[in-house]
Amino acid sequence: MFSNIKLIPAPMASLTDLPLRELYIEFGAKVVVSEMISSEALHYGKPSDLLIRSLSQHDHYDGSYIFGAQIFGSDKKKMVDAACFISQFPVDFIDINAGCPVKKVISQHSGAYLMKDYERLFDICEAVKASTSLPVTVKIRIGFTKIADNITEICKKLESIGISALFVHARTRDEWFSGECHWDILKKITSAVSIPLFANGSIDSKDYSNIVIDETSANGVMIGRYAAQAPWIFSSWAGKSFKIDRKFVAEIMIKHLAAAESLYGEYAATKLRKQLMLYSYKFSNSKQFKISICNSSSVKETLNAIKRWQNAA
C-alpha cells in the first residue's frame, strides 16, 4: 500500500480536518489521514453528521491517493466498535494512535500512554486487526518518560500481529515536540522490522526529509506541524515550486475559509483561528492579524482580516 510513498501528512487534532486534507491532496499529497477519532465517542454516542461527512467525502475510487482514519482509545471492545464503524466508509486503512502526548488523552490511558502499557496496545491491535479487512497501521513514540529499552521488540511484536506500517515519532511522550529527535533509535527499528516505517518529528523540508531517510533507512517521512503551516510543501516532491508571498498565502487562506464555511457554517471563523495563525507564522507584522481573527465571530470578519493582512506592509 505504501510503496513509492515518501511523504505523509500527520493527523493532528483540531487541524487535519476535511478542508485541510483537501488542500494537501490538491498540492500533491498521496496519503491523507483524518483527525483522531475517539472510540469512546463512537461507542457511547451517535456519530456526528460532521464525522460522517468527513469520512464520506473522500470518495476516491480512482486511486489517486490513499485515505486513512485514525482512532484512539484504551478499551479493546470500543476500539473494535470504532474500527467496524469506520470500515463502512471509503477508507483505505485504519491507524491506531499510540503517540498523542496531550494530558486529556493520556488521562484516558490512550495515545502515548500505550507506550508504557504496550501489552494493552498489542491486545488492541490484535482485536482491531481481526475486526476489519482494512490494513491497520500504528502511530507511536519511542517511549513514555524515557526511550523504551525494548522499543525494537515492541515494533517487532506489532509487525508479527500484522500491522501494515509504523509511523514513529522519534521522541518520548515527555519530550513532546522539543529537543533533538532520536534518529539513531529509528535506525535500529528499521533494521529489525520489514514493514514500512515512516519517520516523524521536526521535519520541515524535502531536503531534511532526505537526510532523515538516509540516516534512518525509513521508507519515508510523516510531516505534522509544518505541513499544516505550509500545505504547499507537498508540491516539492513533484518538482513544483511557488512564490510564497502574502498574496499567495492569502489566496490559500481565503480558499481554506470558503471550504470550512461550507462544512461548518459561521463556526468556520472560530474553527480556523489556529490554522490561519499558522499560515501567517513566518510573515512580519502579523500581530494585528492574529488579534483580528481571534476576535472575529463571523466568516465575513475573518475574510476582511485576511484581506487587510494581504495588503499589510
Q: Reply yes or no on whether the pLDDT at 48 is more than 90.
A: no
pTM: 0.94
Say yes or no: 128 and 86 in one domain: yes
1-17 pLDDT, tens digit each: 888 899 999 999 889 99
Q: Reply yes or no on whether the pLDDT at 272 is more than 70.
A: yes
184-218 pLDDT, tens digit each: 999 999 999 999 999 999 999 889 999 999 999 99
Mean pLDDT, all residues of the chain: 93
Say yes or no: 121 and 208 in one domain: yes
Largest CA distance in the chain: 58
Could you tell me if residue 168 is inside a domain? yes
> Domain of 146?
7-238
Say yes or no: 264 and 180 in one domain: no
Say yes or no: 138 and 287 in one domain: no
Res 60: pLDDT: 63
Could you tell me if residue 2 is inside a domain? no
Where among 220, 238, 256 does a domain terminate? Answer: 238
Say yes or no: 255 and 209 in one domain: no
181 tagged catalytic: no
Which residues lie below 8 Å from residue 130, measured CB to CB, with a gap of 6+? none
Where among 238, 263, 282 does a domain terminate? Answer: 238
Q: Reply yes or no on whether the pLDDT at 46 is more than 80.
A: no
Res 61: pLDDT: 60
Could you tell me if residue 104 is inside a domain? yes
Strand pairing category for 7-9 and 220-223: parallel
Say yes or no: 161 and 304 in one domain: no
284-309 pLDDT, tens digit each: 888 999 999 999 999 999 999 999 99
Q: How far is CA 166 from the centre of its chain?
A: 13
- pLDDT category at 91 given cuts 50, 70, 90 is very high
- Active-site residue (options: 84, 100, 125, 181): 100
Say yes or no: 225 and 262 in one domain: no
Where among 238, 269, 298 does a domain terminate? Answer: 238
Number of domains in the chain: 2
Could you tell me if residue 86 is inside a domain? yes
The pair phi, psi for residue 308, each rounded to 5°, is: -65, -40
Say yes or no: 228 and 253 in one domain: no
Q: Reply yes or no on whether the pLDDT at 157 is more than 90.
A: yes
- pLDDT category at 54 given cuts 50, 70, 90 is confident
Q: Reply yes or no on whether the pLDDT at 63 is more than 90.
A: no
Q: Assign residue 165 the CATH number of its domain.
A: 3.20.20.70
Say yes or no: 205 and 232 in one domain: yes
User: What is the sign, positive or negative, of the torsion defined by CA atoms of 292, 298, 301, 305?
Assistant: positive
Could you tell me if residue 295 is inside a domain? yes
Say yes or no: 33 and 164 in one domain: yes
Could you tell me if residue 18 is inside a domain? yes
Count Cα atoms within 13 angstroms, Cβ side, for 19. 22
Q: Reply yes or no on whether the pLDDT at 80 is more than 90.
A: yes
231-269 pLDDT, tens digit each: 999 998 877 888 999 999 999 999 999 999 999 999 999
123-133 pLDDT, tens digit each: 999 999 999 99
Say yes or no: 130 and 216 in one domain: yes
Distance of CA 139 to CAs 113, 163, 235, 281, Å?
A: 12, 11, 24, 27
As a whole number of angstroms, the distance between CA 92 and CA 140 comes to: 20
Say yes or no: 251 and 230 in one domain: no
Give the cell for residue 144. Answer: 513514555
Could you tell me if residue 161 is inside a domain? yes
Q: Reply yes or no on whether the pLDDT at 24 is more than 70.
A: yes
Could you tell me if residue 118 is inside a domain? yes
The pair phi, psi for residue 137, each rounded to 5°, is: -120, 170
